[in-house]
Structure 1
Amino acid sequence: MPLILILLLIGIAVGALTGITGSSGVLIVVPALSIMGLSFQDSVGTSLLVDVITTSTVIYVYLKNKNIDIIPAVIMGIGALVGTQIGIRIAISVSERPLEIAFAILTIILAIQMFRRSRGHKTSINGKKEYRRAAWVFAFLLSIPVGILTGTLGTSGGIMFIGILMLFFSLSAQKMVGTATFAMLFSALSGSAGYLIVGRISILDAVVIGIISLISGYLFSTTANRIKERIVYEAIGSIFVIVVIVEGMKIMGFI
């Protein structure tokens, strides 16, 4: 299959994933680029730049539909921004193997979370108004480790931001996706800037994938309201399982 066609398919998949669920495209981009020959660190940096491009159009759609809560999004974004710079320093100082193993473990966790959400298992500790400031503080603190994961594994934290929002804020599903995507922009910007400085981004791959995901993200985010959440989460969970299998085969040397 021609390289350009592979990059186009990756872009479509990333746009669909981010547009519908607010998730980072890392679980698609990193394994695909790694198999194509990029180092794990270069794949992570490229994935983060793709996230920056993709989230811009998705954020526009959710803002237009008033499905973003700005304050928690900014608070989580700032926390993740701090953590991302810590994570980058960890990523460039260790070998690829432990990062790949950690990536596979993270993917398994997210796959389980997707299937649980498809069955309606949602934890919610929504504080009263008098606890709102405390919720902001906890959201900030929990976003720092999300940022560290961004810097080390390339996940911009969309799903994890949704988890934080579920825990501390009473938001609709669509508003959680929009808010998480907005917060994800902070971590993706911080992470891609850090990787760009150390020369660990494939600009051409990021631009090609990003342009397609920009279009795909817009289309999928505008139609997200018509798709049943259960079907979406089960499909994405299945994709994550496939990613785990592929990444596991790569770690064991079969790919």
Structure 2
Amino acid sequence: MPLIGYALAVLIGLSLGLLGGGGSILTVPVFVYVLGFGAKQSIAMGLAVVGVSSLFGAADHWRRGNLQLRAALVFGAMAMSGTYAGARLSVFIPGAVQLVLFASVMLVAAFFMFRNGRQDAVLAARKQPAVEPRKAPVPVMIAAALGVGGLTGLVGVGGGFLIVPALVLLMGLPMKQAVGTSLLVIALNSFVGFAGYLGHVEVPWALLAVFTTLAVVGILVGTRASHFVSPRVLKQAFSLFLVGMGLFILYRNLDAFFAHPPEMTRRG
């Protein structure tokens, strides 16, 4: 099982590099259902993996001119306070509840990702340019950043599927720059969220280091491959995968959600 988990680590990095998000959506289920860790451990370790791999991906996008540092720091600074608050709040929420919330987020992400993929396909077929993005009012940006950050800390999602459209629709970034910028925001959010879990979960540092290294390899490959792969096809295919995974997690945890059982520990 560890070998399968390590292979999936590369896939997690690929999704981050290709789509600017999706890595944490895969990371938590891998830690829970493939490597056998508890929900809270998995969420904490997932934040560390996604944070480090996203940082490497952001650096690569920076070299290619696809990262707006000011936008990342402004949006990230607002989101980080929400992330830390969400991570601290998660201490009082049973792990099964977090997994049900996580699965619900997966289904919402799948819907928006599939819809965006279809919209991209329609625009391409009609040979229409994408709508020129406009900046939203500052209060709207603050509320969106806090919401994304809180979700990151609470259920362990990096929030790329929310951050990318937020950067486009609220901060006026072109899509290509939004993907690169989102990786830095994800890294900042993930590190703050991971810090919020330290002291409350046991972290197997050696396994985490190997897993993270493989995810970094994946994101570097995915970042380069993103220039040759149709993003709209990827979005639609990945959204279908998210639906299947989200329904599976809901099936495994709905009973536990209502029963509020004690936290699952790692199997021998």
The residue that corresponds to 2:9 in the other structure is 11
The residue that corresponds to 1:239 in the other structure is 241
Calculate the TM-score normalised by the size of structure 2.
0.85
Provide the rounded CA distance (Å) in 1 between the counterparts of 2:251 and 2:224: 36
Identity %: 21
Measured against aligned partners, the alpha-carbon deviations of 1:194-243 in whole angstroms (never above 9, x if no partner) come to 21233343323321221001111101101201111121101211221121
The residue that corresponds to 1:76 in the other structure is 75
1:126 equivalent to 2:133? Answer: yes
The residue that corresponds to 1:158 in the other structure is 160
Cα pair 2:57 2:223 within 8 Å, conserved: yes
SS at match of 1:171: coil
Calculate the TM-score normalised by the size of structure 1.
0.89
Provide the rounded CA distance (Å) in 2 between the counterparts of 1:13 and 1:220: 9
1:21-60 matched pairs, under 5 angstroms: 21-35=19-33, 36-60=35-59
- C-alpha spacing 1:168/1:38, structure 2 compared with 1 (3 Å): same
* Counterpart AA for 1:11: A
* Counterpart AA for 1:103: F
The residue that corresponds to 1:188 in the other structure is 190
The residue that corresponds to 1:216 in the other structure is 218
Offset, 1:161? 0.9
SS at match of 2:93: coil
Structure 2 alignment gaps of length 5 or more = 124-129, 257-268
**RMSD of aligned residue pairs (Cα, Å):** 2.2
Pairs aligned (count): 247
The residue that corresponds to 2:252 in the other structure is 250
* Counterpart AA for 1:243: M
Offset, 1:252? 4.5
Offset, 1:152? 0.8
Provide the rounded CA distance (Å) in 2 between the counterparts of 1:196 and 1:178: 28
Provide the rounded CA distance (Å) in 1 between the counterparts of 2:209 and 2:98: 25
- C-alpha spacing 1:179/1:19, structure 2 compared with 1 (3 Å): same
* Counterpart AA for 1:26: S
Structure 1 alignment gaps of length 5 or more = none
The residue that corresponds to 2:102 in the other structure is 103
The residue that corresponds to 2:61 in the other structure is 62
SS at match of 1:97: helix
SS at match of 2:198: helix
- C-alpha spacing 1:98/1:117, structure 2 compared with 1 (3 Å): same
The residue that corresponds to 2:260 in the other structure is none
